[in-house]
């Protein structure tokens, strides 16, 4: 099961700009403004203010070094050549207003992963599990149940 999964983020101008302008200058403790901006930019308007506040509290716990290491790795991330090696049936969930992971990336994954099903969430951003947790849970549970039925 993959959620908002990119094929590659190499050369992604928006991500490079974010890393250079925000992540590279982070120090412990991350500012609440940075955390809020990050959570809001990766979510849709459907995420409730109370849940946004909870997510921001969690993001504030992440040390600056983890942000820097994570985003440095993302700038070099490229799974394109390895996608055809995925043998398992795969559920790919993606939000249509994802600002980081494009529809083109999802279409590439559909073409390269042998047994993949793409489920697109209209009006949802980079985090379908936050934006529509009931649907997300239902889709994952249905996918697992189907796999269990077909493996008998």
Domain ranges in the chain?
Answer: 2-6+79-151, 13-75
In this structure, how many other beta carbons lie within 10 angstroms of the beta carbon of residue 139?
18
What single DSSP character describes residue 31? Answer: P
What local confidence, expressed as pLDDT, does residue 41 receive?
Answer: 86
Which class is domain 2-6+79-151?
alpha beta
Across 17-31, 33-47, 106-120, least confident range = 33-47
pLDDT digits (tens, 9 = 90+) for 128-149: 998 899 999 999 999 999 999 8
Geometric angle at alpha carbon 109, from 116 and 135, rounded to 5°: 55
Q: Give the Cα separation of 20 and 71 in Å (integer).
A: 10
Is it the case that residue 113 has pLDDT exceeding 70? Answer: yes
Q: How confident is the model at residue 152 (pLDDT cuts 50, 70, 90)?
A: low
Q: Give the Cα separation of 9 and 37 in Å (integer).
A: 20
pLDDT digits (tens, 9 = 90+) for 29-55: 999 999 999 998 888 888 889 999 999
């Amino acid at each position: 099961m993959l959620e908002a999964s990119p094929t590659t983020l190499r050369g992604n101008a928006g991500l490079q700009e974010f890393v250079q302008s925000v992540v590279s200058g982070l120090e412990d403790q991350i500012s609440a403004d940075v955390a809020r901006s990050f959570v809001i930019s990766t979510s849709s308007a459907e995420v409730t203010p109370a849940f946004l506040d909870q997510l921001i509290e969690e993001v504030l716990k992440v040390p600056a070094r983890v942000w820097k290491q994570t985003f440095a790795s993302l700038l070099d991330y490229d799974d394109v050549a390895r996608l055809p090696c995925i043998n398992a049936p795969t559920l790919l969930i993606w939000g249509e207003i994802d600002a980081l992971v494009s529809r083109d990336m999802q279409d590439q994954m559909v073409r390269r992963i042998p047994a993949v099903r793409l489920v697109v969430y209209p009006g949802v951003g980079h985090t379908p599990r936050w934006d529509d947790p009931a649907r997300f849970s239902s889709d994952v549970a249905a996918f697992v149940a189907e796999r269990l039925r077909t493996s008998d």
